[in-house]
Structure 1
Amino acid sequence: MKLNKISLAVLCAISLSQHAFAADEPIDANNDTVNTDNIEKIEVTGSYIAGYNAHSVSGASRLDLAIIDIPQSVSVITEAQMQDFQLHDINAALDSATGVNVERIETDRTYYTARGFDITNFQIDGIGLPLTSGNNHADEDTAIYDRIEVIRGANGLMTGVGNPSATINFIRKRPTADNQLTVSGTYGSFNNTRIEADGSVRLNDTFAARAVAVTQSKDSYLDRYETDKNVFYVFLEANLTDDTSLSLSHSYINNDATGNNWGALPLFYTDGSATNYDSSTNTSADWSNWQVIKNNTVFELSHHFNSDWRLRATYSHKTTDEDTELFYVFGTPDKDTELGLTGYGSEYDLDDQSDLVDIYVDGNFNLFGREHQLVAGVNYSKMSYTDSSLYDYTTDYGFPEMPDLNTWDGNTPKPTFTDGLRGSDVTRKQQAAYFTGRFSVVDDLHVIVGGRYNDWQAEGESYEVNQDADYDKFIPYLGAVYSFTPELVAYASYTENFVAQTEADSVGVFLDPITGESREVGVKSELFNGRLIASLAYFDVEQTNIAVLDPETAGLPIDMQTYYGADGISSTGFEFEVAGEIYPGLNASIGYTDFDIEGDDTVAAYTPSKLLKFAATYDFETIEGLSIGMNMRWQDDISRNQGVVAEGFDNAGAEIITKQDAYAVIDLMAKYQITENLGLAVNANNVGDEKYINSLYWAQGYYGAPANYSATLSWKM
């Protein structure tokens, strides 16, 4: 019979409780004392450390390895950290991840980068679509996730394709061993109102369920911007036998935003000087709206053939429905009059559907007197989407001249979206086969060898551009971990990377795929009996033909922008991280990243090359139930070359450089457990009221949120 960790823990607890009530000397059925001298004794030891430390991740290789045994940089944003600092959306959560930069280009569209490259690989429970677009639309709630794993570097084993930046693996909540229910209510600045419920029930030895529900509505520091969000998640689990389990889960997220921007603020005047709008200034029309509904259904089967080998099969079906009415502002304003901008209205609708099947076996085997691990599997994914854009070329409302943004209240006549129908109808498929072997070469040396063969096809048309493409590639992976002591290891890894691109050049032809290599070496250590993990890594990444936005089209609407392939881009640098309990009662996650980008001056300029992330909480021993904490992120200065000053100015021909100085955003928290069931938490964000541009990823930008506050009351049964 195969025992999972929960079953083993229960059996151990039962056996210990039985032993506690037994006599000093065991007796048999005849009440005679039993001689225990020759009985084999089994001692079960283990530990679970709550807080900011995590012991293992699965997204790096599907081998359930301790973080110290993975030959790549790994961070985990734990549930405790998300709760402490009210990290309710993935943007806020990833702000806390070592080496990850969150590029907020618009209110409802976000990109993510690491080591100078876009993050394009996202997974749920280790399963994902590796070619999904790297930008996230709307607000993705974290309430349904137990933790978020960030595997930095090229993930050649599990995704096979994608940039050598990072893989984000969202681990969903599952039924717990005991029945439980948590209900919390939050109220904060900008009329932020949130109610969240999370419950788990174990019906019997066979069936268990967990459900999460969230409703949240809030205004914003941005003029006219409001959001309403509803989330529902249910996970049903059935242990059919001791060896076989089934699960069915579904998540529903409905984000309804009004007053959202499309594009952002102009960052310079016609004379080249920088604009400086109020943080609340918004380019959105008062009728703008963006509704995003996401549904994701996952079916899982797990079967243990014996104590060493397991099969896991997953089917995922995900749909997204987006309905928008958008307003874009482009041009360059005059410094004296603040005029010269033009509006641009569009109705955009998107429907996409993705299906994924992943089947693999994993287990242990003995060879040459040593135990090794192996994973082998196949993967099939299909993503289809249709979208459409409508404009107004008939009335004067489709492209209105804009007034001064400083005083504009968003009032502009709503266009009649009946003209210029354009759109896409695209299907992308990927078939893959992969394997990973972890081999014990000698007592202290483990080598991980693996590879993935990908066959990727696309067909269809997008905005009059043919999308037909067909690529195949084998991606090798090699890693090694050497243990100097059980607590200190050194590692090295190498993989190639491959990315099929859908960006088009100036004549509408797709760019060739990106190819490159990624190398990483480092050391990791478990300190204080495993309560703290520290790591130091050096990485060297090279890519060729990566798509770069043509600066001459940077100020145009997205569907009019073009790209070119860079001859070569490299990123080299180091990362340092510690996570866990560094002192009794003091939990911390500290990460520092420093790297240099060569080969693309534009990317190097707008990408922060130095990032410091710091989160810490302290539980007072003298005041039971009281904790305080701080969450801080710092980045160095960034800039973007916006062209040159036009003729007619005294400084004609001078370069226009938009700059954002280095800055830090500091959040504080305090919480108190009033009773065993009732707790109160208070959070203060950006307590220094720092004003900063969220991102220079695009030629436009908008400002981050000023100081804001919230209070949360939680009840747990």
Structure 2
Amino acid sequence: MSSPQVLRLSKLSFATSLILSGYAFADEVKAKDEPLEKIAVYGQHHKNYITEEAQSATKLGLTIKETPQSISVVSRALMDDFSLDDINSVLESTPGVTVEQIETDRTYFKARGFEITNFQVDGLGIPQSSGSIQGSLDTSIYDRVEIVRGANGLMTGAGNPSATVNMVLKKPTYTTQANASASYGSWNKKRLDLDVSTPINDEHAVRAVFTKQKADSYLDRYETDKTIVYLAYEGKLTDSTSLSVNYVNQQKDADSPLWGALPLYYTDGTPTDYDESTSTAADWSYWDNSAEQVYVTLEQNLSATWVARARYAHVKNDQKSELFFVYGTPNKETGLGLTGYASRYDYSDKHDLFDLYASGKFDLFGQEHDLSFGVSQAKMDYKDLSLYDYTTGNGFPAMPSLKTWDGVMPEATLADSENGSDITNEQKSAYISTRLKLSEPLSLLAGVRYTDWETKGTAYSVSQTRSDSELIPYIGTVYDFSDTLSAYASYTETFVPQKELDINANQLPAITGKSSEIGVKAQLLDDQLFVTFAYFDAKQDGLAVALPNSVPGDTRYYAADGINSNGFEVELSGKFTDDLSASISFSNLSIDGDDLVKDYTPENQLKVAATYQVPLVDGLSFGANYRWQDSTSRVQVKDANGMAAVTTNQDAYGLLDLMATYEITDNIGVTFNINNTTGEKYLNSLYWAQGYYGAPRNYGLSVNWQL
């Protein structure tokens, strides 16, 4: 049997051969002086950009080809064509990313075996204490979504060696533009999108986006109501000073949402098999989420090649909910044995973020180099409150069989055992990065970020006070073999503060993360096709693990070896012919150090998105969006010897979405979508011990108008 090292090398050799053989058969292309556009996963056909630069990774204004990390961009076109209306569906179409949909209104995202906790808006980091997104982030206000895979500690400070997700807001335009879309779909889904942008004069412009969506669901009783308002201003205060202000308000109200999900096995160990519509939500439960965000950017040109930017953001999130959880293991014959659990949960957080940096170019030893440096500060306050019903008998009711239950349950009086959290986090950072042109084909990127993290407060009567600081290095290199082919390597780190205490009641050190990556990037077919290959190795150390025989209520921990993941990613995106545009990606992932994570994380993923413009029928296009992952599992029960006694298995599956669009006139078009065309039945996630099924086949029709 081949060793793991041999298998890894064989995978690497195969993927490298694929890239280089594709390059060998490509047409020669002419060199271009202008910088290259960020390569979109789909839809933006790779025309060259002058001003838009990949800011997600370094703040040096580098293109994707010049950046020594894997970067994918989901374009506005892909979001529109396949109705990717929230960040969940966007990341489902992103190479190497796993979307762990554990409830209807709470989702975790993973990449390279680790939770994604680093999110940005227009390159400004929004620190997260965990990787979950509650409610949903609608994509109607974004121009594109950039995903930098691997550790990105230089830009984001605390976080995991997984990925950074940068959501780029729509900008005002200096020509009047307007578009509208009205759609109707399965389960009475109704959606309206309005987007208008206009100049005030030659130096000032505004943009407004409004979205309204109401929908029932394939899940019993579940209904949602979303409203999104976005306002943007951009203008020049002087010839060298510009100002932009962005305002976002998102509201999502959900009736009868899932809190937890379905039990996945019976008392005899056999798997449950409920209808896809089965829900554990009570008919009186709700989960309402609102978010309000303000972003202000002041930009000052210091010279022809230097600019300073000051950015401020105020972000506020509020949740109010009364939820119903179902736990236990049902009897296979009767369906009985489950218990309900009602809770009221209120949550609010407030982020105040500030970032000041300068970037530009300098000449040294006959070459032009890039430099960026700055400071940032983030203050994050959050409070939550939990209430239960231990008095009326409705707080923990015995459940009937889920196969016949209609959601009717006496409403609990949620007023007991008030508890919660009141925590303040503060992160201060200073950073510097540079790109040095050692020779015409060879560049060296280096940077360092110092981050100080301090937490004060309590969570459910447990002190959260902690303080950590870390110096995070970044180094990378890019070698251009030609104008169309380059190779790169990079190494960077992250850290994650921990609140857990060791046996001596001392706070455990922060979890440290390391990520290294090598790869090649090529532009083929007259710059119309972009190909990337990356091999990566990522690791976390110092993960808190509970000590056995800890005193209940006073659990102590030790720092253990963390997860080690390695693998490769291949991506081809662009215009294959005059009529065919596509993105094709394959990712492979191997995990060591945590069997649970290894089992529920797919080892292989294939993602394909493509559209074909029918040559003989002007305005007619067809498209397909396909996502496949191999089998996953979760050990639910172990026997006395520590061996698996009950395991939940999810077989490999693929989801196929189809699209057809027809432009009736230059201004009006219609789009028809079929999602999960083959009617695949599958569990959304095995991230938790419970789970629920994804949506069956469904349809949507939209009418689109543009000025």
- In the TM superposition, residue 160 of structure 1 has moved relative to its aligned partner by 2.6
- In the TM superposition, residue 563 of structure 1 has moved relative to its aligned partner by 8.3
Corresponding position of 2:440: 443
Aligned with residue 649 of structure 2, among 655, 659, 663 = 659
Q: Distance in 2 between matches of 1:698 and 1:505?
A: 26
Aligned with residue 627 of structure 2, among 628, 633, 636 = 633
- Larger mean CA deviation between 493-502 and 105-114 belongs to 493-502
Corresponding position of 1:593: 587
- In the TM superposition, residue 513 of structure 1 has moved relative to its aligned partner by 1.6
Q: Distance in 1 between matches of 2:554 and 2:341?
A: 13
Corresponding position of 1:29: none
Change in Cα spacing, 1:320 to 1:392, as seen in structure 2 (3 Å) is same
- In the TM superposition, residue 500 of structure 1 has moved relative to its aligned partner by 1.1
Change in Cα spacing, 1:319 to 1:654, as seen in structure 2 (3 Å) is closer
1:680 matched to 2:666: no
- In the TM superposition, residue 386 of structure 1 has moved relative to its aligned partner by 0.7
Structure 1 counterpart SS, 2:91: helix
Aligned with residue 134 of structure 1, among 127, 131, 135 = 131
| 1:271–1:645 CA contact under 8 A, matched in 2 | no
| 1:354–1:384 CA contact under 8 A, matched in 2 | yes
Structure 2 counterpart SS, 1:448: strand
Aligned with residue 143 of structure 1, among 113, 136, 140 = 140
TM-superposition CA deviations, 1:351-371 (whole Å, max 9, x none): 110000000000000011110
- In the TM superposition, residue 504 of structure 1 has moved relative to its aligned partner by 7.7
Aligned with residue 385 of structure 2, among 388, 409, 415 = 388
- In the TM superposition, residue 263 of structure 1 has moved relative to its aligned partner by 0.4
Letter in 2 for 1:263: G
Aligned with residue 170 of structure 2, among 170, 173, 187 = 173
- In the TM superposition, residue 652 of structure 1 has moved relative to its aligned partner by 13
TM-superposition CA deviations, 1:176-198 (whole Å, max 9, x none): 23101101100000000000100
Aligned with residue 575 of structure 1, among 569, 579, 582 = 569
Using the aligned pairs only, state the percent identity.
Answer: 50
Change in Cα spacing, 1:530 to 1:637, as seen in structure 2 (3 Å) is same
1:66 matched to 2:63: yes
Change in Cα spacing, 1:339 to 1:580, as seen in structure 2 (3 Å) is same
- In the TM superposition, residue 503 of structure 1 has moved relative to its aligned partner by 6.4
Aligned with residue 205 of structure 1, among 181, 202, 205 = 202
Corresponding position of 1:415: 412
| 1:444–1:483 CA contact under 8 A, matched in 2 | yes
Q: CA RMSD in A?
A: 2.4
- In the TM superposition, residue 529 of structure 1 has moved relative to its aligned partner by 2.2
TM-superposition CA deviations, 1:522-543 (whole Å, max 9, x none): 0000112221110111001121
Letter in 1 for 2:185: G
TM-superposition CA deviations, 1:392-419 (whole Å, max 9, x none): 0001100000100011011111110110
| 1:632–1:664 CA contact under 8 A, matched in 2 | yes
Change in Cα spacing, 1:78 to 1:375, as seen in structure 2 (3 Å) is same
- In the TM superposition, residue 585 of structure 1 has moved relative to its aligned partner by 1.9
- In the TM superposition, residue 567 of structure 1 has moved relative to its aligned partner by 2.0
Aligned with residue 343 of structure 1, among 337, 340, 345 = 340
Corresponding position of 1:705: 695
Corresponding position of 1:214: 211
TM-superposition CA deviations, 1:580-631 (whole Å, max 9, x none): 1111121111111101000110000011111111100111222111111000
Q: Distance in 2 between matches of 1:215 and 1:507?
A: 54
Q: Distance in 1 between matches of 2:368 and 2:642?
A: 71
Q: Provide the TM-score with structure 1 as the length reference.
A: 0.90
Corresponding position of 2:512: 515
Letter in 1 for 2:587: T
- In the TM superposition, residue 131 of structure 1 has moved relative to its aligned partner by 3.5
Q: Distance in 1 between matches of 2:221 and 2:403?
A: 14
Change in Cα spacing, 1:283 to 1:95, as seen in structure 2 (3 Å) is same
Letter in 1 for 2:543: I
Matches within 5 A, 1:79-228: 79-228=76-225
For structure 1, the residue ranges without an aligned partner over 5 or more in a row are 1-42, 554-558
Q: Provide the TM-score with structure 2 as the length reference.
A: 0.91
| 1:120–1:163 CA contact under 8 A, matched in 2 | yes
Aligned with residue 323 of structure 2, among 317, 322, 326 = 326
Letter in 2 for 1:214: T
Matches within 5 A, 1:189-588: 189-502=186-499, 512-546=509-543, 566-588=560-582
Change in Cα spacing, 1:214 to 1:121, as seen in structure 2 (3 Å) is same
| 2:151–2:513 CA contact under 8 A, matched in 1 | no
Q: Which protein has the larger Cα radius of gyration, Structure 1 or Structure 2? A: 1
Structure 2 counterpart SS, 1:82: helix
Q: Distance in 2 between matches of 1:348 and 1:563?
A: 28
Q: Distance in 1 between matches of 2:554 and 2:616?
A: 62
Change in Cα spacing, 1:389 to 1:82, as seen in structure 2 (3 Å) is same
Change in Cα spacing, 1:655 to 1:214, as seen in structure 2 (3 Å) is same
Q: Distance in 1 between matches of 2:554 and 2:689?
A: 14
TM-superposition CA deviations, 1:441-479 (whole Å, max 9, x none): 011000000010000000000011101000000000000
Structure 1 counterpart SS, 2:131: coil
Change in Cα spacing, 1:380 to 1:107, as seen in structure 2 (3 Å) is same
Structure 2 counterpart SS, 1:545: strand
Q: Distance in 1 between matches of 2:546 and 2:528?
A: 45
Letter in 1 for 2:109: Y
Q: Distance in 1 between matches of 2:692 and 2:504?
A: 31
Q: Distance in 2 between matches of 1:129 and 1:421?
A: 30
Change in Cα spacing, 1:505 to 1:639, as seen in structure 2 (3 Å) is farther
- In the TM superposition, residue 548 of structure 1 has moved relative to its aligned partner by 6.7
Change in Cα spacing, 1:362 to 1:45, as seen in structure 2 (3 Å) is closer
Structure 2 counterpart SS, 1:80: helix
- Larger mean CA deviation between 512-521 and 445-454 belongs to 512-521
| 1:53–1:78 CA contact under 8 A, matched in 2 | no
1:621 matched to 2:615: yes
Change in Cα spacing, 1:395 to 1:572, as seen in structure 2 (3 Å) is same
Structure 1 counterpart SS, 2:125: coil
Q: Distance in 1 between matches of 2:425 and 2:455?
A: 4
Letter in 2 for 1:703: Y
Structure 1 counterpart SS, 2:65: helix
| 1:502–1:511 CA contact under 8 A, matched in 2 | yes
Q: Distance in 2 between matches of 1:208 and 1:551?
A: 62
For structure 2, the residue ranges without an aligned partner over 5 or more in a row are 1-31
Q: How many residues align?
A: 666
Change in Cα spacing, 1:379 to 1:608, as seen in structure 2 (3 Å) is same
